[in-house]
Structures are given as structure tokens and as C-alpha cells.
Amino acid sequence: MMMAELIDQTDFRHRLSALGVTIHSDASPMCAARLAARCHQAQGVEGLDALVRELMGKRDVMLPCVREAIEAHLIPVLGNSPGSH
């Protein structure tokens, strides 16, 4: 039996941190997404668009709180950013 790894709030924070977004270890998914969106608007976050596309392609293994944070804060910002599709 194969076990899928869930995309939880810790994984979400780590992935955003790997892109250079400074996030406290206890930040909620909403807070992490809001910080990433602000950082992207201020200076751009290279790889954020690709990360969001990857994560949204894995909705079946993503916790609802992470999906809601992405939909509330990151998709709107990325949809309005230069070079977005």
C-alpha cells in the first residue's frame, strides 16, 4: 500500500521559505500565504508561480487550510503579476 505525503502547513511554510520568503515557524497557512503575497508584490518571489501551480495540481493530498490560503492570497496576486498566464 502506497502512502501519499500530505501537503500540510509545515510543508507549505518550508516550501515558501525555500523561495526566500521569511516566515515564522508557527505561522498559519493564511499568514504564510499573506506574507508571500506581500513579498511578491514588493520585490517578486522567483519560483512562486511554479510552486503554486505545483501545489494546486496536488489538491488531493493538500490540507484544506493550505488550499484556502493559496486561493485567498497567492492566486489573486499571481493572477495580476506581470508575465502570469
Domain borders along the chain are 50-79
Position 83 confidence tier, pLDDT thresholds 50, 70, 90: very low
Integer Rg of the chain from CA: 12
* Residue 2 grid cell: 502506497
Round the average pLDDT of the chain to a whole number and report it. 90
pTM to 2 decimal places? 0.86
Q: pLDDT tens across 36-58, in order?
A: 999 999 999 999 999 999 999 99
Beta bridge partners of 62: 7
The arithmetic mean of pLDDT across residues 61-69, rounded, is 96
Q: What's the one-letter identity of residue 77?
A: V
Q: Is the pLDDT confidence value at 3 over 80?
A: no
% of the chain beyond a pLDDT of 70: 88
With residues binned 3-state (H G I as helix, E B as strand, rest as coil), the percentages for the chain, rounded to 5, are 60, 0, 35
